[in-house]
C-alpha cells in the first residue's frame, strides 16, 4: 500500500505540499442516498408547493462544497469552477439519490468537495423531513469517478 500522504515520516499530521505540482483540470463525481418511508417520499414529491426540500438541499450541497477546507482539517481550499448537485426521487429505494459533480483547475483534486456536497445535501434532506420521519438512513456516500492530476482517471467498478 502507498504511504499515507497526510502524515510526515515520523507520523505527524500535515497538509500535503502541492506547491510544485502542476495545475490541471480536475473533476470528481460522488453520490449518495437518503432512504425514507414511502409516505415521506410522497410528502417530499407533493410538498413542493409548501416547501422545496430538493431545492434547499441542492443549494446546501453547493454551499457545503465551498466549505470543505473548513470542515476537513487537512484539505486545501480550492477555487471551484463548477458544482452541480442533482437530487432525484427514487420510489424503489424509497428515497432520494444524490449525485454531485465538482470541477476545478488546480494542483489537487476535488474528491472531498464532491463528497462533502453529497453529505451536506443528504443531511439537509434529513433535517427538513425529520419532523415526519426520524428513521431515514443516509447511505452509500462514495466517489464514483475522478479525472485529472498525476494519478489520472479513476472510475468505480462494480467490485469497488
Q: Report which DSSP code applies to 86.
A: E
Cell of 105: 483547475
Cβ atoms of residues 92 and 59 within 8 Å: no
The answer to whether residue 127 is catalytic is yes
**DSSP-H helix ranges across 6-142:** 38-46, 53-66, 68-71, 111-129
| Active-site residue, selected from the candidate residues 9, 10, 20, 127 | 127
Distances, alpha carbon 13 to alpha carbons 6, 10, 110, in Å: 6, 9, 20
Catalytic residues: 127
Amino acid at each position: 500500500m502507498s504511504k499515507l500522504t497526510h502524515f510526515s515520516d515520523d507520523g505527524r499530521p500535515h497538509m500535503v505540499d502541492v506547491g510544485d505540482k502542476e495545475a490541471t483540470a480536475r473533476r470528481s463525481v460522488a453520490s449518495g442516498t437518503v432512504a425514507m418511508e414511502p409516505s415521506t417520499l410522497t410528502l417530499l414529491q407533493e410538498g413542493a408547493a409548501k416547501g422545496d426540500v430538493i431545492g434547499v438541499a441542492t443549494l446546501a450541497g453547493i454551499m457545503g462544497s465551498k466549505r470543505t477546507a473548513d470542515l476537513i482539517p487537512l484539505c486545501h481550499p480550492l477555487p471551484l469552477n463548477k458544482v452541480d448537485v442533482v437530487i432525484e426521487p427514487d420510489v424503489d429505494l424509497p428515497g432520494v439519490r444524490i449525485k454531485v459533480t465538482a470541477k476545478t483547475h488546480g494542483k489537487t483534486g476535488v474528491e472531498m468537495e464532491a463528497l462533502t456536497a453529497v453529505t451536506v445535501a443528504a443531511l439537509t434532506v434529513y433535517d427538513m423531513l425529520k419532523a415526519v420521519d426520524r428513521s431515514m438512513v443516509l447511505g452509500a456516500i462514495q466517489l464514483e469517478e475522478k479525472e485529472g492530476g498525476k494519478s489520472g482517471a479513476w472510475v468505480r467498478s462494480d467490485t469497488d
